[in-house]
Chains A and B, each alone.
Chain A
């Protein structure tokens, strides 16, 4: 081997070693789309995890797995993949909330030019039923799904502004409550749905002018005697909105007085000037607590005191129902209201947008008792 050849070999080996050192810390998402080849058609393949759910963020990795695959699907059209195959063959456990978020991601990717095909359903009958009832299969096949309120169940409803607000309450009233809903219960459902939808228009997409672009998705299901009702948007998230409001510190003081004191002391110890403190406090409070602050009455993410009606109506639906639970996932926080008690949790991975979910026990005898 000549000296020149040895030098070339050494140079290649050195370059390869440097490249290896640089890349060894890089963590790749398992669902990233395949690289574009010259001859092959690009098809991204998404294999769904065994547990496709967002409920046990503090117990196992299922929350992260679920958010990872949904985020990858959201990105797939933008990253060059025009065609995607969805494989649920390994999935044994699916919850409706994760299906709702998945539906929104697929619809968004379709609007950006991607097409989807479900290549395999779960072996578990219940999990397959949840997918089929959500309308995802039809959405993948037809690329557009018109809401149908005439059946015994409704697929995910996709809308903007005040679309379908009365249809959703009608469905709950006639199909779930079998037309035995009292006027009072109707007012509570009507108020909660109207205000939750309203909040999307007012707060979720602050940089969007066109109301029709401010999308939301609703899922409504009856499981046993439990009504599951969820509204999802892909906006900036409640913590992002709440941070920009002038009343934020006042509410922080009244809601978490001990926390405010602690933060002020810590910042003072670190030599932060009083002028800069507010900016620091905004960043230090966890997202979950920011959601809690936004849910305090007569305050929401708009800067006038007349707002805040949404949070009252949203809470009323579970406050009026002894077995009701309210969940709000937004960015890195989870807010949970159950039996009048608020709990907040930090999420290990950010939820893209906001999910408001009510679980309510349906009392069909309520009409008689009213």
Chain B
């Protein structure tokens, strides 16, 4: 179980390192991808922060397919995400993974 606010930052922001230290790319490369490579099941808990930007979410989760070579079916089996107060963020992550999957498939 990875808690974004406990294990990464209380106020994550942006897509790239140029946006600041606690960006989506940093979360993906330093925490999420290594966890997915090491464990059978990974749960990301987004609870505790209600102001995630779409860029952060897209880079952190969509980037798993675009940049780190995971497939959608791998993520469907290994990755869970939860925000106890806002289901809209869970839906957004699903949407961005789906979009990354479609874009990657179309570009092949």
Contact surface of A with B, Cβ cutoff 8 Å: 161-162, 165-166, 169, 183-184, 186-187, 189-191, 194-195, 198, 201, 211, 298, 305-306, 309-310, 312-313
Whether A162 and B19, one on each chain, are in contact in the complex, defined by CB atoms closer than 8 angstroms, is yes
What are 16 A-B contacts defined by CB distance under 8 Å? A161-B19, A161-B20, A165-B51, A187-B50, A191-B54, A194-B13, A195-B55, A198-B55, A211-B18, A298-B99, A305-B103, A306-B59, A306-B63, A306-B66, A306-B103, A313-B54
- Interface size (B, Cβ < 8 Å)? 26
A sample of 11 more A-B contacts (CB under 8 A), given A161-B20, A306-B99, A310-B54, is A169-B51, A183-B86, A184-B86, A187-B88, A190-B53, A194-B52, A198-B15, A198-B19, A201-B18, A306-B58, A306-B63
Q: Which residues of B contact A211 (CB under 8 A)?
A: 18
B window 53-108: CB within 8 A of A: 53-56, 58-59, 62-63, 66, 85-86, 88-89, 99-100, 103
Residue in B51, B55, B85 with the greatest tally of chain A CB atoms within 10 Å: B51
Interface residue SS majority, chain B: helix
Whether A312 and B52, one on each chain, are in contact in the complex, defined by CB atoms closer than 8 angstroms, is no
Whether B85 and A309, one on each chain, are in contact in the complex, defined by CB atoms closer than 8 angstroms, is no
Whether A162 and B51, one on each chain, are in contact in the complex, defined by CB atoms closer than 8 angstroms, is no
Of the candidates B53, B66, B86, B103, which one forms a contact with A195 in the assembled complex, judged by CB atoms under 8 Å apart? B53
Q: Which residues of B contact A310 (CB under 8 A)?
A: 54-55
Given contacts A162-B13, A194-B13, contact A183 B54 (CB under 8 A): no
Of the candidates A183, A184, A191, A306, which one forms a contact with B53 in the assembled complex, judged by CB atoms under 8 Å apart? A191
- Going nearest first, the 4 A-B pairs with the smallest beta carbon separation are A190-B51, A309-B54, A194-B53, A183-B85
Whether A166 and B54, one on each chain, are in contact in the complex, defined by CB atoms closer than 8 angstroms, is no
Q: Which residues of B contact A309 (CB under 8 A)?
A: 53-55, 58
Interface residue SS majority, chain A: helix
Closest residue of chain B to A166, judged by CB?
Answer: B11
Whether A186 and B51, one on each chain, are in contact in the complex, defined by CB atoms closer than 8 angstroms, is yes
* Nearest CB of B to A132, in Å: 30
Q: Which residues of A contact B66 (CB under 8 A)?
A: 306
Q: Which residues of A contact B103 (CB under 8 A)?
A: 305-306
Q: Which residues of B contact A305 (CB under 8 A)?
A: 99, 103
Residue in B19, B52, B55 with the greatest tally of chain A CB atoms within 10 Å: B55
Whether B88 and A184, one on each chain, are in contact in the complex, defined by CB atoms closer than 8 angstroms, is yes
Whether A162 and B88, one on each chain, are in contact in the complex, defined by CB atoms closer than 8 angstroms, is no
Whether B50 and A183, one on each chain, are in contact in the complex, defined by CB atoms closer than 8 angstroms, is yes
Closest residue of chain B to A312, judged by CB?
Answer: B54
Q: Which residues of A contact B56 (CB under 8 A)?
A: 194
B window 1-47: CB within 8 A of A: 11, 13-15, 18-20
Given contacts A161-B19, A165-B13, contact A313 B88 (CB under 8 A): no
* Nearest CB of A to B25, in Å: 11
Whether A201 and B19, one on each chain, are in contact in the complex, defined by CB atoms closer than 8 angstroms, is yes
Q: Which residues of B contact A183 (CB under 8 A)?
A: 50, 85-86
Closest residue of chain B to A302, judged by CB?
Answer: B15
Q: Which residues of B contact A194 (CB under 8 A)?
A: 13-14, 51-53, 55-56
